[in-house]
Each structure stands twice: as C-alpha cells, then as structure tokens.
C-alpha cells in the first residue's frame, strides 16, 4: 500500500498545486477583465508569468521533492520559456475564437496539463 501511495503522491500533488495555480490565474484574469478592463491577451501573459514563479518555487520542493540546483534552474527556464510561449499562443488562438478569457484559459489548462506534468517530471526535475 505504501508503494502505491508513493507512486501516486507526485501526480496527486501536481494536480492539487496546478488547481491552486489555475485558480490564481482565473481569479486574477477575471479581476483584470471585469474591473480593469485590460486586454485579455496581455493580462493572461502577465498573470501567467507571475504564476510560473509560484509554480517553480512549489513544484520542485513539494511535488517532486527535489533540491533545487543550477541545473534544475536552467532546465526550468528553458521549459518555462517554451511553455510560456505555447500557453500564450494557444490562449490567443482560443480567445480569437471564443472572445471569453476565462473559457480560453480553462481550455489552455486542460490541453496543456498532461504535457506540462510529463515534461516537468521527465526533464525539469529529473535527477
């Protein structure tokens, strides 16, 4: 039983952390859209960038339980640049079709969730 728990601890923690990060993105995107009336694409890009800082700090330590070193930092930066560009492009494409920022953000999260976990585990936070 303990092997089973250890095996699924990382994915479960990733789901929980991702849920919290996407809640952060949704709340601030909604605030930017509803009260500040900013451009949805710019708001998404800025909010996503701030979410990635939180993501890096918590994913390595809590989800994958890794000591963060310079190799990990470099791999994370490469991953984040690629992921960030992909997120913003996919968001822009979906937003162009829907004109609904929160829906676009949710669809991006659903589309990119599994690839982000896979590359985080296999590339960024590997030993």
Q: What are phi and psi of 99, to 5 degrees?
A: 60, 25
DSSP for 31-43, please give it: HIIIII---HHHH
pLDDT for residue 1: 54
Task: Judge residue 52's burial from the number of C-beta atoms within 10 Å of its C-beta, 0-12 exposed, 13-18 middle, 19 or more buried.
Answer: buried
pLDDT of 30: 92
Q: How far apart are CA 78 and CA 94, in angstroms?
A: 24
Per-residue pLDDT of the chain (127 residues; tens, 9 = 90+): 577 777 778 888 888 999 999 999 999 999 998 888 888 899 999 999 999 888 877 887 788 777 778 888 888 889 889 999 999 999 999 999 999 988 999 999 999 989 988 888 888 877 6
User: How much is the pLDDT for 121?
Assistant: 83
Range of the domain at 16: 2-124
- Domain tally, the chain: 1
For 64-120, where are the alpha helices, taking DSSP H only? 70-98, 101-119
pTM over 0.85: no
Summarize pLDDT for 7-28 with one digit per residue, the tens.
778 888 888 999 999 999 999 9
């Amino acid at each position: 039983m303990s092997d089973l728990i250890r095996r699924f601890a990382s994915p479960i923690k990733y789901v929980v952390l991702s849920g919290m990060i996407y809640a952060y993105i949704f709340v601030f995107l909604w605030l930017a859209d509803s009260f500040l009336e900013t451009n949805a694409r710019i708001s998404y890009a800025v909010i996503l960038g701030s979410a990635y800082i939180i993501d890096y700090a918590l994913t390595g330590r809590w989800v994958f339980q890794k000591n963060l070193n310079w190799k990990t930092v470099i791999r994370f930066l490469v991953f984040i640049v690629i992921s960030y560009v992909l997120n913003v492009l996919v968001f822009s494409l979906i937003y162009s079709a829907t004109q609904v920022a929160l829906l676009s953000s949710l669809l991006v999260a659903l589309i990119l969730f599994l690839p982000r976990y896979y590359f985080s585990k296999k590339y960024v936070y590997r030993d």
